[in-house]
Chain A
Amino acid sequence: MTPTGTGQSISPRSAKRRRRAKGGVATAMAVAILAVIVGVALLAPVLAPYDPYEVDLSAALQPPGSAHLLGTDMQGRDLLSRIMYGTRLTLLTSLTALVSGSVVGALLGLAAVFFPSSDAVIGRLLDILLSFPAILFGLALGASLGPGLLPVTIALSIATVPEVGRIARAAGLTIARQEYMQSGRAIGLGKTTLFFKYLAWNCMPTIFVFLTLRFGFIILLGAGLNFLGLGAAPPAAELGVLAAEGRNVLAFAPHVATYPSLTIFLLVLSLNVLGDVLRDKLDKRLL
Protein backbone atom coordinates (compact mmCIF):
# COMPACT_ATOMS: atom_id res chain seq x y z
CA MET A 1 0.00 0.00 0.00
CA THR A 2 1.44 3.30 -0.97
CA PRO A 3 0.35 6.69 0.33
CA THR A 4 -0.94 7.36 -3.13
CA GLY A 5 -3.52 4.57 -3.30
CA THR A 6 -6.67 5.65 -5.08
CA GLY A 7 -8.53 2.39 -5.20
CA GLN A 8 -9.35 2.79 -8.85
CA SER A 9 -8.54 -0.84 -9.45
CA ILE A 10 -11.85 -1.79 -7.90
CA SER A 11 -14.00 0.51 -10.01
CA PRO A 12 -16.63 -1.23 -12.08
CA ARG A 13 -15.93 -1.20 -15.77
CA SER A 14 -18.30 1.58 -16.78
CA ALA A 15 -16.87 4.05 -14.28
CA LYS A 16 -13.40 3.18 -15.42
CA ARG A 17 -14.19 3.81 -19.06
CA ARG A 18 -15.61 7.19 -18.17
CA ARG A 19 -12.54 8.11 -16.17
CA ARG A 20 -10.22 6.97 -18.92
CA ALA A 21 -11.87 9.30 -21.40
CA LYS A 22 -11.70 12.27 -19.01
CA GLY A 23 -8.19 11.34 -17.91
CA GLY A 24 -6.94 11.65 -21.47
CA VAL A 25 -6.55 15.41 -21.26
CA ALA A 26 -4.69 15.24 -17.98
CA THR A 27 -2.38 12.54 -19.31
CA ALA A 28 -1.63 14.48 -22.46
CA MET A 29 -0.86 17.59 -20.43
CA ALA A 30 1.35 15.63 -18.04
CA VAL A 31 3.31 14.12 -20.91
CA ALA A 32 3.63 17.51 -22.61
CA ILE A 33 4.86 19.27 -19.44
CA LEU A 34 7.27 16.45 -18.74
CA ALA A 35 8.61 16.53 -22.29
CA VAL A 36 9.12 20.30 -22.17
CA ILE A 37 10.88 20.23 -18.77
CA VAL A 38 13.14 17.30 -19.66
CA GLY A 39 13.86 18.73 -23.12
CA VAL A 40 14.77 22.15 -21.75
CA ALA A 41 16.93 20.55 -19.06
CA LEU A 42 18.79 18.45 -21.63
CA LEU A 43 19.29 21.41 -23.94
CA ALA A 44 20.13 23.87 -21.16
CA PRO A 45 23.61 24.74 -22.53
CA VAL A 46 22.02 25.62 -25.90
CA LEU A 47 18.81 27.26 -24.71
CA ALA A 48 19.95 29.19 -21.63
CA PRO A 49 20.06 32.90 -22.51
CA TYR A 50 22.80 33.66 -19.94
CA ASP A 51 25.61 31.96 -18.08
CA PRO A 52 23.89 30.63 -14.90
CA TYR A 53 26.91 31.60 -12.78
CA GLU A 54 27.54 35.06 -14.23
CA VAL A 55 27.21 37.60 -11.40
CA ASP A 56 26.00 41.09 -12.31
CA LEU A 57 25.33 43.02 -9.13
CA SER A 58 23.97 46.01 -11.03
CA ALA A 59 21.12 43.83 -12.24
CA ALA A 60 20.33 42.24 -8.88
CA LEU A 61 16.75 41.19 -8.01
CA GLN A 62 15.16 42.40 -11.22
CA PRO A 63 11.53 41.32 -11.57
CA PRO A 64 10.61 39.20 -14.60
CA GLY A 65 10.94 41.35 -17.72
CA SER A 66 12.17 41.43 -21.29
CA ALA A 67 15.91 41.32 -20.51
CA HIS A 68 15.51 38.52 -17.98
CA LEU A 69 12.35 36.51 -18.64
CA LEU A 70 12.07 35.21 -15.09
CA GLY A 71 14.03 38.04 -13.46
CA THR A 72 17.34 37.81 -11.60
CA ASP A 73 18.46 36.68 -8.15
CA MET A 74 20.23 38.79 -5.52
CA GLN A 75 23.53 38.51 -7.36
CA GLY A 76 22.00 39.50 -10.67
CA ARG A 77 22.24 36.01 -12.13
CA ASP A 78 19.60 35.17 -14.72
CA LEU A 79 16.95 33.05 -13.00
CA LEU A 80 15.71 31.31 -16.16
CA SER A 81 19.21 30.07 -17.01
CA ARG A 82 19.77 28.98 -13.44
CA ILE A 83 16.49 27.07 -13.42
CA MET A 84 17.37 25.35 -16.70
CA TYR A 85 20.71 24.18 -15.32
CA GLY A 86 19.13 23.48 -11.95
CA THR A 87 16.52 21.17 -13.47
CA ARG A 88 19.34 19.35 -15.24
CA LEU A 89 21.20 18.77 -11.97
CA THR A 90 18.03 17.82 -10.07
CA LEU A 91 16.97 15.34 -12.76
CA LEU A 92 20.47 13.89 -13.00
CA THR A 93 20.83 13.20 -9.26
CA SER A 94 17.30 11.88 -8.80
CA LEU A 95 17.50 9.67 -11.87
CA THR A 96 20.89 8.26 -10.83
CA ALA A 97 19.50 7.51 -7.39
CA LEU A 98 16.28 6.05 -8.76
CA VAL A 99 18.04 3.72 -11.19
CA SER A 100 20.73 2.51 -8.78
CA GLY A 101 18.32 2.14 -5.88
CA SER A 102 15.73 0.29 -7.92
CA VAL A 103 18.28 -2.15 -9.36
CA VAL A 104 19.41 -3.07 -5.84
CA GLY A 105 15.84 -3.13 -4.54
CA ALA A 106 14.52 -5.24 -7.42
CA LEU A 107 17.38 -7.73 -7.14
CA LEU A 108 16.77 -8.06 -3.39
CA GLY A 109 13.01 -8.44 -3.77
CA LEU A 110 13.29 -10.97 -6.59
CA ALA A 111 16.04 -12.89 -4.82
CA ALA A 112 13.66 -13.28 -1.88
CA VAL A 113 11.20 -14.93 -4.28
CA PHE A 114 13.72 -17.00 -6.22
CA PHE A 115 15.64 -18.27 -3.20
CA PRO A 116 12.89 -18.87 -0.60
CA SER A 117 15.45 -19.53 2.12
CA SER A 118 16.58 -15.90 1.89
CA ASP A 119 13.02 -14.55 2.10
CA ALA A 120 12.92 -14.12 5.88
CA VAL A 121 16.21 -12.24 6.07
CA ILE A 122 15.56 -9.99 3.07
CA GLY A 123 11.97 -9.36 4.15
CA ARG A 124 13.09 -8.28 7.61
CA LEU A 125 15.82 -6.06 6.18
CA LEU A 126 13.36 -4.35 3.84
CA ASP A 127 10.89 -3.93 6.71
CA ILE A 128 13.50 -2.24 8.88
CA LEU A 129 14.54 0.08 6.04
CA LEU A 130 10.86 0.84 5.39
CA SER A 131 10.15 1.78 8.98
CA PHE A 132 12.47 4.78 8.80
CA PRO A 133 11.46 7.86 6.83
CA ALA A 134 13.64 8.55 3.83
CA ILE A 135 14.74 11.96 5.05
CA LEU A 136 16.50 10.26 7.97
CA PHE A 137 18.92 8.58 5.55
CA GLY A 138 19.68 11.96 4.02
CA LEU A 139 20.36 13.51 7.40
CA ALA A 140 22.47 10.54 8.52
CA LEU A 141 24.61 10.57 5.40
CA GLY A 142 24.90 14.33 5.58
CA ALA A 143 26.10 13.96 9.17
CA SER A 144 28.66 11.35 8.34
CA LEU A 145 29.98 12.38 4.91
CA GLY A 146 29.30 16.10 5.19
CA PRO A 147 27.01 18.06 2.84
CA GLY A 148 27.35 17.35 -0.87
CA LEU A 149 25.58 15.93 -3.91
CA LEU A 150 27.08 12.46 -3.41
CA PRO A 151 25.58 11.85 0.07
CA VAL A 152 22.23 13.19 -1.17
CA THR A 153 22.28 10.86 -4.17
CA ILE A 154 23.21 7.88 -1.99
CA ALA A 155 20.45 8.77 0.46
CA LEU A 156 17.87 9.02 -2.34
CA SER A 157 19.09 5.69 -3.66
CA ILE A 158 18.77 4.03 -0.23
CA ALA A 159 15.28 5.51 0.08
CA THR A 160 14.34 3.78 -3.19
CA VAL A 161 15.61 0.31 -2.22
CA PRO A 162 13.03 -0.96 0.32
CA GLU A 163 9.91 0.26 -1.55
CA VAL A 164 11.06 -1.21 -4.86
CA GLY A 165 12.16 -4.36 -3.06
CA ARG A 166 8.70 -4.79 -1.58
CA ILE A 167 6.98 -4.23 -4.93
CA ALA A 168 9.41 -6.53 -6.76
CA ARG A 169 8.84 -9.25 -4.17
CA ALA A 170 5.05 -8.95 -4.48
CA ALA A 171 5.21 -8.94 -8.28
CA GLY A 172 7.71 -11.79 -8.26
CA LEU A 173 5.43 -13.97 -6.13
CA THR A 174 2.67 -13.63 -8.73
CA ILE A 175 5.02 -14.41 -11.60
CA ALA A 176 6.57 -17.36 -9.77
CA ARG A 177 3.16 -19.04 -9.70
CA GLN A 178 2.77 -18.81 -13.47
CA GLU A 179 2.97 -21.97 -15.50
CA TYR A 180 5.79 -20.78 -17.73
CA MET A 181 8.06 -20.59 -14.69
CA GLN A 182 7.33 -24.24 -13.97
CA SER A 183 7.81 -25.16 -17.62
CA GLY A 184 11.10 -23.27 -17.74
CA ARG A 185 12.30 -25.17 -14.74
CA ALA A 186 11.03 -28.46 -16.19
CA ILE A 187 12.91 -28.11 -19.47
CA GLY A 188 16.06 -27.52 -17.47
CA LEU A 189 16.78 -23.84 -18.06
CA GLY A 190 19.70 -22.42 -16.14
CA LYS A 191 19.08 -20.42 -12.99
CA THR A 192 20.38 -17.23 -14.60
CA THR A 193 17.97 -17.52 -17.51
CA LEU A 194 15.08 -18.34 -15.22
CA PHE A 195 15.87 -15.45 -12.92
CA PHE A 196 16.50 -12.70 -15.44
CA LYS A 197 14.58 -13.70 -18.56
CA TYR A 198 11.57 -15.28 -16.90
CA LEU A 199 11.15 -13.80 -13.45
CA ALA A 200 12.76 -10.35 -13.60
CA TRP A 201 11.69 -9.56 -17.15
CA ASN A 202 8.03 -10.22 -16.41
CA CYS A 203 8.11 -8.11 -13.26
CA MET A 204 9.43 -5.13 -15.20
CA PRO A 205 6.06 -3.51 -16.05
CA THR A 206 4.94 -3.44 -12.42
CA ILE A 207 8.29 -2.12 -11.22
CA PHE A 208 8.38 0.46 -13.97
CA VAL A 209 4.93 1.83 -13.10
CA PHE A 210 5.90 1.99 -9.46
CA LEU A 211 9.10 3.85 -10.35
CA THR A 212 7.08 6.48 -12.22
CA LEU A 213 5.09 7.03 -9.05
CA ARG A 214 8.23 7.01 -6.94
CA PHE A 215 10.24 9.38 -9.15
CA GLY A 216 8.23 12.40 -8.06
CA PHE A 217 8.74 11.53 -4.42
CA ILE A 218 12.50 11.15 -4.93
CA ILE A 219 12.67 14.53 -6.69
CA LEU A 220 10.80 16.17 -3.80
CA LEU A 221 13.02 14.48 -1.24
CA GLY A 222 16.19 15.46 -3.09
CA ALA A 223 15.02 19.05 -3.47
CA GLY A 224 14.21 19.09 0.25
CA LEU A 225 17.67 17.84 1.23
CA ASN A 226 19.30 20.35 -1.11
CA PHE A 227 17.02 23.04 0.30
CA LEU A 228 18.27 22.23 3.80
CA GLY A 229 21.82 22.77 2.60
CA LEU A 230 22.78 19.09 2.79
CA GLY A 231 23.38 18.82 -0.95
CA ALA A 232 24.88 21.01 -3.64
CA ALA A 233 26.88 23.98 -2.32
CA PRO A 234 25.26 27.43 -2.88
CA PRO A 235 26.83 28.74 -6.09
CA ALA A 236 25.66 25.55 -7.80
CA ALA A 237 22.34 25.70 -9.60
CA GLU A 238 20.02 23.05 -8.18
CA LEU A 239 16.27 23.58 -7.84
CA GLY A 240 16.16 23.04 -4.06
CA VAL A 241 19.17 25.31 -3.55
CA LEU A 242 17.59 27.96 -5.78
CA ALA A 243 14.40 27.84 -3.73
CA ALA A 244 16.42 28.19 -0.53
CA GLU A 245 18.27 31.19 -1.97
CA GLY A 246 14.96 32.98 -2.45
CA ARG A 247 14.10 32.72 1.23
CA ASN A 248 15.76 35.93 2.42
CA VAL A 249 14.17 38.05 -0.29
CA LEU A 250 10.79 36.33 -0.16
CA ALA A 251 8.86 39.42 0.95
CA PHE A 252 10.04 41.83 -1.76
CA ALA A 253 11.27 39.56 -4.57
CA PRO A 254 9.10 36.44 -4.36
CA HIS A 255 9.95 35.45 -7.95
CA VAL A 256 13.39 34.16 -6.87
CA ALA A 257 11.86 31.40 -4.74
CA THR A 258 8.66 30.93 -6.73
CA TYR A 259 9.93 29.89 -10.16
CA PRO A 260 12.30 27.12 -9.00
CA SER A 261 9.58 25.79 -6.69
CA LEU A 262 7.02 25.96 -9.49
CA THR A 263 9.35 23.96 -11.74
CA ILE A 264 9.66 21.23 -9.10
CA PHE A 265 5.90 21.23 -8.61
CA LEU A 266 5.11 20.89 -12.32
CA LEU A 267 7.71 18.16 -12.75
CA VAL A 268 6.47 16.12 -9.78
CA LEU A 269 2.81 16.73 -10.58
CA SER A 270 3.13 15.47 -14.13
CA LEU A 271 5.06 12.40 -12.94
CA ASN A 272 2.38 11.65 -10.35
CA VAL A 273 -0.49 12.09 -12.81
CA LEU A 274 1.31 9.86 -15.30
CA GLY A 275 2.06 7.27 -12.62
CA ASP A 276 -1.60 7.16 -11.57
CA VAL A 277 -2.72 6.66 -15.16
CA LEU A 278 -0.16 3.92 -15.76
CA ARG A 279 -1.20 2.19 -12.56
CA ASP A 280 -4.83 2.17 -13.65
CA LYS A 281 -3.79 0.71 -16.98
CA LEU A 282 -1.78 -2.00 -15.30
CA ASP A 283 -4.82 -2.70 -13.14
CA LYS A 284 -3.12 -4.81 -10.57
CA ARG A 285 -3.66 -4.49 -6.88
CA LEU A 286 0.03 -4.70 -6.12
CA LEU A 287 0.65 -0.97 -6.10
Chain B
Amino acid sequence: MLNVLLSRLFLSLPVLIGAIFFGFLLLRVVPGDPASLLAGQSASADVVARVRTEMGLDEPWILQFVHYFGQVTSGDLGRSIISNRPVLDELSEALGPTVELVLSALSLAVPLGITLGVIAAIYRGGMLDRAIMALAVAGISLPVFWVAYMLILILGVQWNLLPFTGRLGPIWTLEGLQGLALPALTAAFTLVGPIARISRTAVLETLYAEHVRLARAKGVPEHKVVVKHGLRNALLPIVTLVGLQIGHLLGGTVIIETIYAWPGVGRLVVGAIMNSDYATAQGGLLLMACIFVAVNLIVDLLYSTLDPRLS
Protein backbone atom coordinates (compact mmCIF):
# COMPACT_ATOMS: atom_id res chain seq x y z
CA MET B 1 0.00 0.00 0.00
CA LEU B 2 2.78 2.39 0.94
CA ASN B 3 4.58 1.46 -2.25
CA VAL B 4 1.52 2.30 -4.30
CA LEU B 5 1.15 5.62 -2.50
CA LEU B 6 4.78 6.52 -3.07
CA SER B 7 4.82 5.55 -6.72
CA ARG B 8 1.60 7.49 -7.41
CA LEU B 9 2.95 10.52 -5.59
CA PHE B 10 6.11 10.25 -7.63
CA LEU B 11 4.10 10.07 -10.86
CA SER B 12 2.09 13.18 -10.07
CA LEU B 13 5.20 15.23 -9.32
CA PRO B 14 5.94 16.04 -12.98
CA VAL B 15 2.33 17.13 -13.42
CA LEU B 16 2.58 19.48 -10.46
CA ILE B 17 5.89 20.91 -11.64
CA GLY B 18 4.34 21.30 -15.08
CA ALA B 19 1.40 23.15 -13.54
CA ILE B 20 3.75 25.51 -11.69
CA PHE B 21 5.71 26.07 -14.90
CA PHE B 22 2.46 26.81 -16.70
CA GLY B 23 1.50 29.27 -13.97
CA PHE B 24 4.94 30.85 -14.36
CA LEU B 25 4.49 31.17 -18.13
CA LEU B 26 1.03 32.65 -17.67
CA LEU B 27 2.42 35.97 -16.58
CA ARG B 28 5.26 35.95 -19.08
CA VAL B 29 3.10 35.66 -22.16
CA VAL B 30 0.80 38.51 -21.22
CA PRO B 31 0.93 41.41 -23.62
CA GLY B 32 2.87 44.19 -21.96
CA ASP B 33 5.22 44.37 -19.02
CA PRO B 34 4.49 41.83 -16.26
CA ALA B 35 6.05 44.10 -13.65
CA SER B 36 3.68 46.98 -14.33
CA LEU B 37 0.78 44.52 -14.50
CA LEU B 38 1.63 43.08 -11.10
CA ALA B 39 2.21 46.50 -9.58
CA GLY B 40 -1.18 47.70 -10.79
CA GLN B 41 -2.21 50.35 -13.27
CA SER B 42 -1.75 53.35 -11.00
CA ALA B 43 1.71 52.34 -9.74
CA SER B 44 4.56 54.81 -10.10
CA ALA B 45 7.75 54.08 -12.03
CA ASP B 46 9.64 53.42 -8.77
CA VAL B 47 7.17 50.78 -7.66
CA VAL B 48 7.27 49.12 -11.07
CA ALA B 49 11.07 49.06 -10.92
CA ARG B 50 10.97 47.59 -7.43
CA VAL B 51 8.50 44.92 -8.48
CA ARG B 52 10.75 44.13 -11.44
CA THR B 53 13.77 43.54 -9.18
CA GLU B 54 11.62 41.66 -6.67
CA MET B 55 10.37 39.38 -9.40
CA GLY B 56 13.86 39.11 -10.83
CA LEU B 57 12.62 39.98 -14.29
CA ASP B 58 16.11 41.06 -15.36
CA GLU B 59 17.45 37.56 -14.72
CA PRO B 60 17.51 34.77 -17.34
CA TRP B 61 14.19 32.92 -17.43
CA ILE B 62 15.56 29.65 -16.06
CA LEU B 63 16.71 31.48 -12.94
CA GLN B 64 13.39 33.28 -12.82
CA PHE B 65 11.58 29.96 -12.87
CA VAL B 66 13.79 28.48 -10.13
CA HIS B 67 13.13 31.60 -8.10
CA TYR B 68 9.38 31.43 -8.71
CA PHE B 69 9.34 27.72 -7.94
CA GLY B 70 11.06 28.38 -4.61
CA GLN B 71 8.53 31.08 -3.76
CA VAL B 72 5.52 28.96 -4.63
CA THR B 73 6.72 25.90 -2.77
CA SER B 74 7.35 28.01 0.33
CA GLY B 75 3.80 29.35 0.14
CA ASP B 76 4.58 32.84 -1.14
CA LEU B 77 2.06 33.52 -3.91
CA GLY B 78 2.38 37.29 -3.89
CA ARG B 79 -0.17 39.92 -2.95
CA SER B 80 -3.55 40.76 -4.43
CA ILE B 81 -3.53 44.20 -6.01
CA ILE B 82 -7.22 44.59 -5.17
CA SER B 83 -7.26 43.75 -1.46
CA ASN B 84 -3.50 44.12 -0.88
CA ARG B 85 -3.59 40.93 1.17
CA PRO B 86 -1.38 37.87 0.63
CA VAL B 87 -2.88 35.66 -2.06
CA LEU B 88 -2.37 32.63 0.17
CA ASP B 89 -4.72 34.11 2.80
CA GLU B 90 -7.37 34.86 0.20
CA LEU B 91 -7.13 31.35 -1.18
CA SER B 92 -7.29 29.61 2.17
CA GLU B 93 -10.46 31.56 2.97
CA ALA B 94 -12.01 30.58 -0.37
CA LEU B 95 -11.08 26.91 -0.16
CA GLY B 96 -13.51 26.09 2.65
CA PRO B 97 -16.68 27.25 0.87
CA THR B 98 -15.66 25.47 -2.34
CA VAL B 99 -15.01 22.18 -0.52
CA GLU B 100 -18.34 22.63 1.30
CA LEU B 101 -20.16 23.10 -2.02
CA VAL B 102 -18.40 20.24 -3.78
CA LEU B 103 -18.83 17.67 -1.00
CA SER B 104 -22.49 18.46 -0.40
CA ALA B 105 -23.19 18.28 -4.14
CA LEU B 106 -21.42 14.93 -4.37
CA SER B 107 -23.23 13.49 -1.37
CA LEU B 108 -26.52 14.35 -3.07
CA ALA B 109 -25.59 13.34 -6.60
CA VAL B 110 -23.57 10.15 -6.17
CA PRO B 111 -26.22 8.02 -4.37
CA LEU B 112 -29.00 9.32 -6.61
CA GLY B 113 -26.97 8.90 -9.81
CA ILE B 114 -25.85 5.37 -8.96
CA THR B 115 -29.39 4.33 -7.97
CA LEU B 116 -30.82 5.66 -11.22
CA GLY B 117 -28.06 3.99 -13.23
CA VAL B 118 -28.60 0.63 -11.54
CA ILE B 119 -32.38 0.82 -12.04
CA ALA B 120 -31.84 1.66 -15.71
CA ALA B 121 -29.45 -1.28 -16.09
CA ILE B 122 -31.85 -3.74 -14.43
CA TYR B 123 -34.75 -2.68 -16.65
CA ARG B 124 -32.55 -2.36 -19.71
CA GLY B 125 -34.54 -1.56 -22.84
CA GLY B 126 -37.75 -0.99 -20.84
CA MET B 127 -39.73 2.16 -20.27
CA LEU B 128 -37.96 2.99 -17.03
CA ASP B 129 -34.53 2.63 -18.63
CA ARG B 130 -35.49 4.83 -21.55
CA ALA B 131 -37.01 7.45 -19.29
CA ILE B 132 -33.95 7.60 -17.02
CA MET B 133 -31.53 7.71 -19.93
CA ALA B 134 -33.56 10.41 -21.69
CA LEU B 135 -33.45 12.47 -18.50
CA ALA B 136 -29.72 11.84 -18.22
CA VAL B 137 -29.06 13.07 -21.78
CA ALA B 138 -31.21 16.12 -21.12
CA GLY B 139 -29.32 16.76 -17.89
CA ILE B 140 -25.97 16.54 -19.65
CA SER B 141 -27.17 18.97 -22.32
CA LEU B 142 -28.38 21.67 -19.93
CA PRO B 143 -26.16 24.72 -19.49
CA VAL B 144 -25.21 24.98 -15.79
CA PHE B 145 -26.31 28.60 -15.59
CA TRP B 146 -29.77 27.75 -16.81
CA VAL B 147 -30.16 25.07 -14.14
CA ALA B 148 -29.17 27.71 -11.59
CA TYR B 149 -31.62 30.22 -13.08
CA MET B 150 -34.51 27.78 -13.02
CA LEU B 151 -33.83 26.70 -9.45
CA ILE B 152 -33.57 30.36 -8.37
CA LEU B 153 -36.79 31.21 -10.18
CA ILE B 154 -38.82 28.27 -8.90
CA LEU B 155 -37.44 27.53 -5.43
CA GLY B 156 -36.10 30.99 -4.66
CA VAL B 157 -38.47 33.52 -6.19
CA GLN B 158 -41.76 31.75 -6.92
CA TRP B 159 -42.05 29.53 -3.86
CA ASN B 160 -39.73 31.64 -1.72
CA LEU B 161 -38.33 28.49 -0.13
CA LEU B 162 -34.59 29.02 -0.25
CA PRO B 163 -32.24 32.02 -0.29
CA PHE B 164 -29.90 32.56 -3.25
CA THR B 165 -27.74 35.34 -1.90
CA GLY B 166 -24.52 33.49 -1.22
CA ARG B 167 -23.04 31.94 1.87
CA LEU B 168 -25.00 32.89 4.96
CA GLY B 169 -22.87 31.17 7.59
CA PRO B 170 -20.92 28.04 8.46
CA ILE B 171 -22.40 24.77 7.28
CA TRP B 172 -23.38 23.64 10.79
CA THR B 173 -25.82 26.52 11.26
CA LEU B 174 -29.34 26.60 9.84
CA GLU B 175 -28.66 29.76 7.82
CA GLY B 176 -25.50 28.19 6.48
CA LEU B 177 -27.40 25.12 5.31
CA GLN B 178 -30.13 27.22 3.75
CA GLY B 179 -27.62 29.31 1.84
CA LEU B 180 -25.82 26.17 0.70
CA ALA B 181 -28.99 24.41 -0.49
CA LEU B 182 -29.49 26.05 -3.90
CA PRO B 183 -25.83 26.09 -5.02
CA ALA B 184 -25.42 22.47 -3.90
CA LEU B 185 -28.66 21.42 -5.64
CA THR B 186 -27.50 23.09 -8.84
CA ALA B 187 -24.13 21.35 -8.75
CA ALA B 188 -25.77 18.02 -7.86
CA PHE B 189 -28.24 18.40 -10.74
CA THR B 190 -25.41 18.66 -13.26
CA LEU B 191 -23.66 15.62 -11.76
CA VAL B 192 -26.57 13.16 -11.65
CA GLY B 193 -26.82 12.62 -15.44
CA PRO B 194 -23.20 11.63 -16.09
CA ILE B 195 -23.04 9.48 -12.94
CA ALA B 196 -26.25 7.64 -13.93
CA ARG B 197 -24.86 6.92 -17.40
CA ILE B 198 -21.54 5.68 -16.06
CA SER B 199 -23.24 3.46 -13.47
CA ARG B 200 -25.62 1.96 -16.02
CA THR B 201 -22.72 1.02 -18.31
CA ALA B 202 -20.72 -0.47 -15.45
CA VAL B 203 -23.62 -2.54 -14.09
CA LEU B 204 -24.56 -3.76 -17.58
CA GLU B 205 -21.01 -4.89 -18.15
CA THR B 206 -20.95 -6.97 -14.98
CA LEU B 207 -24.46 -8.34 -15.56
CA TYR B 208 -23.18 -10.02 -18.73
CA ALA B 209 -20.01 -11.34 -17.15
CA GLU B 210 -19.35 -15.05 -16.81
CA HIS B 211 -19.70 -15.22 -13.05
CA VAL B 212 -23.14 -13.60 -13.17
CA ARG B 213 -24.25 -16.05 -15.82
CA LEU B 214 -22.99 -18.84 -13.59
CA ALA B 215 -24.89 -17.45 -10.60
CA ARG B 216 -28.07 -17.37 -12.67
CA ALA B 217 -27.41 -20.86 -13.98
CA LYS B 218 -27.09 -22.33 -10.53
CA GLY B 219 -30.39 -20.75 -9.53
CA VAL B 220 -29.46 -17.76 -7.39
CA PRO B 221 -32.53 -15.52 -7.02
CA GLU B 222 -32.56 -12.58 -9.42
CA HIS B 223 -32.37 -9.81 -6.80
CA LYS B 224 -29.32 -11.50 -5.30
CA VAL B 225 -27.73 -11.80 -8.72
CA VAL B 226 -28.20 -8.09 -9.35
CA VAL B 227 -27.13 -6.82 -5.94
CA LYS B 228 -24.45 -9.27 -4.88
CA HIS B 229 -22.92 -10.32 -8.17
CA GLY B 230 -23.70 -7.38 -10.40
CA LEU B 231 -23.72 -4.20 -8.36
CA ARG B 232 -20.95 -5.20 -6.02
CA ASN B 233 -18.52 -5.80 -8.83
CA ALA B 234 -19.75 -2.79 -10.73
CA LEU B 235 -19.03 -0.46 -7.81
CA LEU B 236 -15.34 -0.58 -8.60
CA PRO B 237 -15.49 0.87 -12.11
CA ILE B 238 -18.23 3.25 -10.94
CA VAL B 239 -16.03 4.67 -8.19
CA THR B 240 -13.09 5.07 -10.54
CA LEU B 241 -14.97 6.52 -13.44
CA VAL B 242 -16.99 8.88 -11.28
CA GLY B 243 -13.85 9.87 -9.42
CA LEU B 244 -11.86 10.49 -12.55
CA GLN B 245 -14.67 12.60 -13.95
CA ILE B 246 -15.14 14.62 -10.78
CA GLY B 247 -12.46 17.11 -11.71
CA HIS B 248 -14.15 17.73 -15.03
CA LEU B 249 -17.67 17.61 -13.69
CA LEU B 250 -16.80 20.22 -11.11
CA GLY B 251 -15.61 22.72 -13.66
CA GLY B 252 -19.23 23.85 -13.39
CA THR B 253 -18.72 25.03 -9.81
CA VAL B 254 -16.85 28.05 -11.18
CA ILE B 255 -20.06 29.16 -12.87
CA ILE B 256 -22.24 28.16 -9.91
CA GLU B 257 -20.09 30.11 -7.47
CA THR B 258 -20.27 33.16 -9.71
CA ILE B 259 -24.06 33.03 -10.05
CA TYR B 260 -24.77 32.53 -6.35
CA ALA B 261 -21.99 34.88 -5.18
CA TRP B 262 -20.56 31.89 -3.34
CA PRO B 263 -17.18 32.97 -1.89
CA GLY B 264 -15.17 30.04 -3.27
CA VAL B 265 -12.01 29.59 -5.30
CA GLY B 266 -13.75 29.71 -8.67
CA ARG B 267 -15.44 33.02 -7.99
CA LEU B 268 -12.18 34.41 -6.61
CA VAL B 269 -10.30 33.46 -9.78
CA VAL B 270 -12.97 34.80 -12.14
CA GLY B 271 -13.11 38.06 -10.18
CA ALA B 272 -9.31 38.30 -10.24
CA ILE B 273 -9.22 37.80 -14.01
CA MET B 274 -11.86 40.49 -14.51
CA ASN B 275 -9.91 42.93 -12.33
CA SER B 276 -6.50 42.06 -13.86
CA ASP B 277 -5.40 40.89 -10.41
CA TYR B 278 -2.73 38.62 -11.85
CA ALA B 279 -1.15 37.35 -8.65
CA THR B 280 -4.51 36.14 -7.30
CA ALA B 281 -5.54 34.61 -10.64
CA GLN B 282 -2.21 32.80 -10.91
CA GLY B 283 -2.36 31.50 -7.34
CA GLY B 284 -5.99 30.42 -7.70
CA LEU B 285 -5.32 28.53 -10.92
CA LEU B 286 -2.38 26.81 -9.29
CA LEU B 287 -4.55 25.80 -6.35
CA MET B 288 -7.22 24.44 -8.70
CA ALA B 289 -4.59 22.44 -10.61
CA CYS B 290 -3.31 21.01 -7.31
CA ILE B 291 -6.85 20.07 -6.28
CA PHE B 292 -7.38 18.15 -9.52
CA VAL B 293 -4.06 16.35 -9.19
CA ALA B 294 -4.98 15.45 -5.59
CA VAL B 295 -8.42 14.18 -6.62
CA ASN B 296 -6.89 11.98 -9.32
CA LEU B 297 -4.39 10.67 -6.79
CA ILE B 298 -7.07 9.83 -4.24
CA VAL B 299 -9.15 8.04 -6.88
CA ASP B 300 -6.10 6.06 -7.96
CA LEU B 301 -5.42 5.00 -4.38
CA LEU B 302 -9.07 4.20 -3.74
CA TYR B 303 -9.06 2.02 -6.81
CA SER B 304 -6.08 -0.01 -5.72
CA THR B 305 -7.55 -0.36 -2.22
CA LEU B 306 -10.88 -1.56 -3.59
CA ASP B 307 -9.25 -3.94 -6.03
CA PRO B 308 -6.36 -5.76 -4.34
CA ARG B 309 -5.41 -7.34 -7.65
CA LEU B 310 -3.98 -4.03 -8.76
CA SER B 311 -1.54 -3.35 -5.95
Taking Cβ atoms with an 8 Å cutoff, the residues of A that contact B are 1, 3-7, 10-11, 15, 18-19, 22, 128, 131-136, 139-140, 142-147, 216, 220-221, 223-224, 227-230, 240, 243-244, 246-247, 250-251, 254, 257-258, 261-262, 264-265, 268-269, 271-273, 276
Q: How far is the CA of A101 from the CA of B205 in the complex (A)?
A: 32
Return the CB mask of B154-192 against A: 1 if under 8 Å, else 0: 000100000000000000000000000000000000000
Q: Inside 8 A of A220's CB, which chain B residues have their CB? A: 141, 143-144
Q: How far is the CA of A224 from the CA of B142 in the complex (A)?
A: 11
* Residue in contact with B137 in the complex, picked from A18, A227, A261, A272, CB distance below 8 Å: A272
Q: Inside 8 A of A18's CB, which chain B residues have their CB? A: 125
B97 adjacent to chain A (CB < 8 Å): no
* Residue in contact with A10 in the complex, picked from B22, B146, B205, B252, CB distance below 8 Å: B205
**With contacts A227-B255, A264-B146 known, is A143 near B285, CB below 8 A?**
yes
Chain B interface size band reads: 35 or more
| Closest A-B pairs by Cβ, 9 of them | A7-B201, A135-B251, A261-B146, A269-B141, A143-B281, A133-B251, A268-B141, A3-B194, A7-B204
Q: How far is the CA of A146 from the CA of B272 in the complex (A)?
A: 11
Majority SS of interface residues in chain B?
A: helix
Q: How far is the CA of A68 from the CA of B129 in the complex (A)?
A: 41
Q: Is there contact, CB below 8 Å, between A143 and B15? A: no
Taking Cβ atoms with an 8 Å cutoff, the residues of B that contact A are 14-15, 18-19, 22, 26-27, 29-31, 121, 124-125, 130, 133, 137-138, 140-146, 149, 152-153, 157, 194, 197-198, 200-202, 204-205, 208, 241, 245, 247-252, 254-255, 258-259, 269-270, 272-274, 276, 278, 281-282, 285, 288-289, 292-293, 296
Across chains A and B, the number of contacting residue pairs, with CB separation under 8 Å, is 166
Q: Inside 8 A of B205's CB, which chain A residues have their CB? A: 7, 10
Question: In the complex, how many angstroms separate the beta carbon of B38 from the nearest chain A beta carbon?
Answer: 12
Q: List 12 A-B contacts (CB under 8 A).
A: A1-B198, A6-B197, A7-B200, A131-B15, A132-B247, A134-B248, A143-B269, A143-B272, A144-B26, A228-B270, A247-B149, A265-B146
